[in-house]
């Protein structure tokens, strides 16, 4: 698992917390929103890495596209929270 000093460990923690708290729609949505914010922050770090030439354009594009897909999936989960909560 990667680690970002500003936000802590980068990984599935907010999503797992949200999944465990899916009994409460508002809490579930909040955790999904947190996950989207973490993914967006990672994209900012990817842009920084590209600008400083730590990664090449191909690597940046691949990772950025993956994060866009992750954000889209999380957004869909948030918009359809009632399907995930019980």
Residue 42 domain flag: yes
Sign (positive/negative) of CA torsion 11, 33, 57, 4?
negative
| The pLDDT of residue 3 is above 50 | no
DSSP 48: H
- State the residue range of the domain holding 60: 2-80
Q: What is the pLDDT of residue 85?
A: 80
Residue 86 domain flag: no
3-state secondary structure 7-46: CEEECCHHHHHHHHCCCCHHHHHHHHHHHHHHHHHHHHHH
Residue 54 domain flag: yes
State whether residue 5 is helix, strand or coil. coil
Q: What is the pLDDT of residue 61?
A: 98
| The pLDDT of residue 1 is above 80 | no
Domains: count for the chain: 1
Residue pair 67/43 in contact (Cβ under 8 Å)? The answer is yes
Instruction: Residue 41: give its domain's CATH number.
Output: 1.20.1440.60
pLDDT digits (tens, 9 = 90+) for 10-43: 555 665 665 555 568 888 899 999 999 999 999 9
Residue 32 domain flag: yes
pLDDT digits (tens, 9 = 90+) for 45-71: 999 999 999 999 999 999 999 999 999
């Amino acid at each position: 698992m990667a680690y970002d000093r500003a936000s802590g460990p980068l990984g599935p923690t907010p999503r797992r917390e949200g999944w465990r708290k899916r009994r409460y729609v508002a809490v579930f949505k909040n955790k999904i929103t947190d996950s989207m914010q973490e993914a967006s922050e990672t994209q900012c770090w990817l842009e920084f890495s590209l600008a400083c030439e730590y990664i090449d354009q191909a690597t940046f594009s691949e990772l950025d596209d993956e994060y866009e897909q992750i954000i889209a999936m999380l957004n869909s989960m948030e918009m359809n929270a009632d399907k995930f909560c019980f």
